[in-house]
């Protein structure tokens, strides 16, 4: 299970870092993401995904990030004791 968390953490940080490169004012930098606990990073990603899914008129950065987060968080939800929405 720990390997799943590490892989998902890396995937989340990678996806969010790419979004930060495109929009540094809208998304946290890699240093901030690395400092987050596993639970904090997961909660941030879940909240961000919910926000992106509720916002109409997404652009390519948001659409790509939404797709990546959905995929990563879906994989996380398959890990024992990890619920996507809580």
Q: What is the pLDDT along the chain (86 residues), one digit of tens a residue?
A: 556 668 999 999 999 999 999 999 999 999 999 999 999 999 999 999 999 999 876 799 999 999 999 999 987 665 544 444 44
**CA–CA separation, 2 and 6 (whole Å):** 6
In a domain? residue 85: no
**CA–CA separation, 54 and 33 (whole Å):** 23
In a domain? residue 86: no
Based on the structure, what is the number of domains in the chain?
Answer: 1
* Model pTM score: 0.80
Largest CA distance in the chain: 37
Residue 73: give the domain boundaries: 2-78
**CA–CA separation, 10 and 52 (whole Å):** 21
In a domain? residue 83: no
Q: 27: helix, coil or strand?
A: coil
Sequence-distant (≥ 6) Cβ neighbours of residue 13 within 8 angstroms: 30, 33, 34, 41
pLDDT, residue 56, reads 73
In a domain? residue 19: yes
């Amino acid at each position: 299970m720990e390997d799943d968390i590490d892989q998902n953490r890396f995937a989340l940080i990678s996806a969010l870092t790419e979004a930060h490169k495109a929009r540094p004012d809208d998304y946290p930098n890699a240093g901030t993401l690395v400092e987050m606990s596993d639970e904090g990073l997961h909660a941030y990603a879940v909240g961000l995904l919910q926000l992106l899914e509720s916002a109409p008129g997404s652009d390519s950065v948001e659409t790509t990030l939404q797709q990546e987060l959905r995929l990563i968080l879906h994989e996380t939800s398959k890990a024992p004791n990890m619920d996507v929405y809580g």
